[in-house]
Amino acid sequence: MVGGGQLARMTQQAAISLGVTLRVLSDSMHASAARVVSDVRVGDHESLDDLRTFAKDSDVVTFDHEHVPGEHIRALEEAGTPCRPGSAALLHAQDKRVMRERLSGLGVPVPRFAPVATAADVEAFGAWPVVLKAVRGGYDGKGVWVCENPAEARAVVERATGEGIALLAEEHVPFRRELAALVARSPYGQGAAYPIVETVQRDGICHEVIAPAPGLHPDRAEEAQRLALDIAARLGVTGLLAVELFETDEGVLVNELAMRPHNSGHWTIEGSRTSQFEQHLRAVLDLPLGDTRPTAPYAVMANVLGGDETDIYPRYIHVMAHDPGVKVHFYGKEVRPGRKIGHVTALGDDLDDVRERARHAADYLRNGPR
Amino acid sequence: MVGGGQLARMTQQAAISLGVTLRVLSDSMHASAARVVSDVRVGDHESLDDLRTFAKDSDVVTFDHEHVPGEHIRALEEAGTPCRPGSAALLHAQDKRVMRERLSGLGVPVPRFAPVATAADVEAFGAWPVVLKAVRGGYDGKGVWVCENPAEARAVVERATGEGIALLAEEHVPFRRELAALVARSPYGQGAAYPIVETVQRDGICHEVIAPAPGLHPDRAEEAQRLALDIAARLGVTGLLAVELFETDEGVLVNELAMRPHNSGHWTIEGSRTSQFEQHLRAVLDLPLGDTRPTAPYAVMANVLGGDETDIYPRYIHVMAHDPGVKVHFYGKEVRPGRKIGHVTALGDDLDDVRERARHAADYLRNGPR
């Protein structure tokens, strides 16, 4: 797995059960996954040499982020290393313009969009507020700007032009809420879908995930699962595909794609018979996929962000004592304000109670007693 | 954790979630846990020098087996390293005579027993068949001999005397079935008990575990949980305590003790809100203990032993395809006939179905199609 972040770290837990040896390409021996894997190669995911050395003797190469240049993945593929997802599929998670054009070509509902190079292009797009997005490289709210008027848009375009960043304009969708569909697809062509979840964002960062999405009509849930499985098949995805969705009065629109374990799927570690990390490994290794059945009526995952206090050990103890059933996941990262350092998951029958438990734990770990 | 076997391997999965750094002392870099831990120290668990080097900078030392000499653990304790369980408690899992004498002194029901040095001692014990046990060092049926008559007993005594092995004679208990109680106790004194399970042995090796033990009267289950918690408190155990029990017409008798994650608790990885591996870490780190609630009405774990065919990959694929819900755990060990190489767990509402699923998977992984 290329990348030493928390996704690779949690993939290691699944690899241990499956008896699969996980090798990680990490930029440091101190990265989240590098701390818990025995076969760590330190290197640069943008260096083809490092990738080639890393891939040698690997059965399959997969990714914990989207930042490996497509031409490098193609070079590995041409040298005979299976990369899953492959470069052709992964491009749709790397380049928002390619993704939007391909999905709309397939008839998948997406927000109205247009590539923009100048402030005049944005004005011609003619929808306010407008969402401007970096075509490449954004994540966790970075690379997304909501502009209320032409003056704001002009400032974003000027800065982006100066930095050589290509932009896409999108209509600002008046969504009711955000949902996510998580599916897996193997090279053999087997597919598996998890229940549709509601994701609650705050400052562009996933804050809370509720599984399943409360009150979602079963027909709409099934429609969203089918949509994600269909996208996975049409784009030739191997491994996981997370589809971030806007729910509107008319139905769902696709917001973003990711082809790896995804923050919206962390609840599956305890909340599903097969965690997304195990499922990703099964899919990329072309093993039969696992059961996606839930283990409880509701699961709520809340991200833990760093607060001002770096020693969170007393808080960690409080959270465990306060609620013996809440599951904590720490990523082995130093605490910095606003940094994702872990997550917590609560399970149960009563949504309000489960949500309160997850929120309390995540809030307490960040802020302590208030 | 001293020992590089599968118990340390599965403890690593729990350590990753808790954000705890697990260091392992292993006799080889190829041992089960050494393959999946970044901080492996190769050394001999019978060498005090190796143990001292290993324990340096560790917050707590714990064990994946009982084979560390008690005087070495005492030396670490005297040097200020917290060892959990401590040497005084662990002695009861290392020396069957000490355990039997202590438990009977506490009024805990145990089989009738007597230390024996000669064939005449065994005859004086006067119960046939008689069970002769090595006082130290036995596991998985090794070090236990059931003798039907004085001639058989004499042969065992002569061999043991020749090898310097001290023996204990025990009555052969006409048990209905075997049960196991798994509890945790922290240095703070908090205790937590898992549901009582039924264990099915074959050739002295744990073959199958059914959680909870079917048809066990709730009063008797609670009595067994209390018994185990009481033993943990009286012996000063920190960490997990597994109590192997005989169920007879009159009640339960204690057979063996183990102070570490135990084969009878592997079902907790999926079958309980808190796995035994997480619970052991929480206990030895003096963290608040986790919820032991089951995640399904029944869980059945079956051990996977090696068969004659060393390439089990096609069988592994079959098992996953046949039953997407069965969870496989492989220990990263080479296949050798009769060797424990992994386990499988199935969960569900219907015991017969769950048991059949676990049995099919374990049997198929060992024997392939028949």
Tell me the per-residue pLDDT of B56-105, one tens digit each, with 9 for 90 and over. Answer: 999 999 999 999 999 999 999 999 999 999 999 999 999 999 999 999 99
Indicate if the pLDDT at residue A206 is higher than 90.
Answer: no
Domain boundary, last residue among B128, B149, B171:
B171
Q: Cβ contacts (< 8 Å) between B288 and chain A: which residues?
A: 317, 320-321, 324
The sheet carrying A144-147 orders its strands as A113-116, A167-171, A130-134, A144-147
Model confidence pLDDT, tens digit, residues B251-291: 999 999 999 999 999 999 999 999 999 999 999 999 999 99
Same structural domain, B202 and B219: yes
pLDDT band, residue B202 (cuts 50/70/90): confident
As a whole number, mean pLDDT of residues A283-289 equals 98
Q: Tell me: do A40 and A126 sit in the same domain.
A: no
Does B91 reside within a domain? Answer: no
The overall average pLDDT reported for chain A is: 96
Q: What is the pLDDT of residue A325?
A: 98
| Spatial distance between the Cα atoms of A354 and A347, rounded to a whole number of angstroms | 6
Pairing type for strands B239-247 and B340-348 reads unpaired
Average pLDDT over residues A276-296: 98
Token pair 């004592």 is found at: A321
CB B157 within 8 A of CB B116: yes
Write out pLDDT tens, residues A47-81.
Answer: 999 999 999 999 999 999 999 999 999 999 999 99
List, for residues B7-31, the tens digit of each pLDDT value: 999 999 999 999 999 999 999 999 9
Q: Are residues B238 and B339 in the same domain?
A: yes
**Regarding beta strands A239-247 and A252-258, do their DSSP bridges make them parallel or antiparallel, or are they unpaired?**
antiparallel
Average pLDDT for A178-187: 98
State the binding site of A for ATP.
Answer: 96, 133, 170-173, 178, 255-256
Judgement on whether residues B320 and B263 belong to the same structural domain of the protein: yes
Distance, C-alpha A62 to centroid of its chain: 14
Q: Is the pLDDT of residue B146 over 90?
A: yes
Q: Would you say residue B92 lies in a domain?
A: no
In a domain, B99, yes or no: no
- CB proximity list for B220: less than 8 A, separation 6 or greater: B247, B251, B252
Give the closest residue to A51 by CA, choosing from A69, A29, A37. Answer: A69
Nearest to A305 by CA among A266, A345, A339: A339
Partner residue opposite A328 with nearest CB, options B15, B17, B296: B17
The pLDDT > 90 percentage for chain A reads 95
| Residue B250, pLDDT above cutoff 80 | yes
Q: Assess whether pLDDT exceeds 80 at residue A258.
A: yes
**Average pLDDT over chain B, rounded to an integer:** 96
Does the CA dihedral B3-A19-A62-A303 come out positive or negative? negative
Distance to chain B for A202, nearest Cα, Å = 24
Q: Quick one: angle between helices A313-322 and A351-367, nearest 10?
A: 160
pLDDT range class, residue B203, cuts 50, 70, 90: confident
**Sole residue written with tokens 């083809």:** A48
- Stretch A175-182: mean pLDDT, rounded? 97
> What's residue B113's pLDDT?
97
Residue B39: strand pairing partners: B23
A66 and A51 belong to one structural domain: yes
As beta bridge partners, residue A342 has A304, A330
Is residue B215 one of the residues assigned to a domain?
A: yes
Helices (H), A205-305: 218-235, 268-271, 276-284
- A157: in domain: yes
Count: domains in chain A: 3
C-alpha to C-alpha distance for A126 and B176, rounded to whole angstroms: 80
Q: How confident is the model at residue B137 (pLDDT cuts 50, 70, 90)?
A: confident
B203 and B256, same domain (yes or no): yes
Q: Is the pLDDT of residue A315 over 90?
A: yes
Q: Which of A36, A281, A347, A354 to mutate to test the interface with B (most CBs of B within 10 A)?
A: A36
End-to-end CA distance of chain B: 40
- CB atoms closer than 10 angstroms to residue A304: 26
Contact B289, B184 (CB under 8 A): yes
Quick one: average pLDDT of B163-186? 96
Report whether pLDDT(B138) > 80. Answer: no
| pLDDT interval class at B139 (50, 70, 90) | low
Which of A19, A38, A273 lies nearest to residue B38, judging by beta carbons? A38
My answer on whether A299 and A229 are in the same domain is yes
We report the CATH number of the domain holding residue A243 as: 3.30.470.20
B122 within a domain of the structure (yes/no)? yes
* Tokens (6 digits) for A61: 């190469």
pLDDT at A138 over 80: no
Helix ranges restricted to H, B141-284: 150-163, 218-235, 268-271, 276-284
Q: Given pLDDT bands bounded at 50, 70 and 90, which one contains residue A205? A: confident
Do B304 and B271 share a domain, yes or no?
yes
Indicate whether A345 pLDDT > 70.
Answer: yes
Q: What is the mean pLDDT of residues B151-157?
A: 96
Nearest CB among B21, B291, B342 relative to A35 is that of B21
- On whether both B137 and B78 belong to a single domain, the answer is no
Residues of A contacting chain B (CB within 8 angstroms): 9-10, 12-13, 15-19, 21, 34-38, 40, 192, 269-270, 273-274, 282, 287-291, 293, 295-296, 316-317, 320-321, 324-325, 327-332, 342, 347
Quick one: A183 and A261 in the same domain? yes
Distance from CA of A336 to the nearest CA of B (A): 16
Range of the domain at A205: 177-367
> Which DSSP symbol is given to B288?
P
Q: What is the CATH number of the domain that holds A135?
A: 3.30.1490.20
- pLDDT classification of B141: cutoffs 50, 70, 90: low
Question: What is the pLDDT, as a whole number, of residue A139?
Answer: 65
DSSP β-bridge partners for residue A147 = A130
**B140 — pLDDT class (breaks 50, 70, 90):** low
Same domain for B188 and B317? yes
Distance CA A32, CA A331 (A): 6
| Residue whose entry in the numeric block shows the structure tokens 């696709």 | A254
Select from A7, A37, A38 the residue whose CB has the most chain B CBs within 10 Å, as the one to mutate to test that interface. Answer: A38
Label residue A360 by pLDDT band (50, 70, 90): very high
Q: How crowded is residue A104: how many other Cβ atoms within 10 Å of its Cβ?
A: 15
Q: What's the pLDDT at A279? A: 98
Residue A101 lies in a domain: no
Q: Identify the domain boundary among A171, A189, A216.
A: A171
Q: Indicate if B41 and B69 belong to the same structural domain.
A: yes
Percent of chain B scoring above 70 in pLDDT: 99
- pLDDT at A141 (0 to 100): 67
pLDDT value at residue A370: 79
Q: Examine residue B350 and state whether it is found in any structural domain, yes or no.
A: yes
- CATH code of the domain containing B74: 3.40.50.20
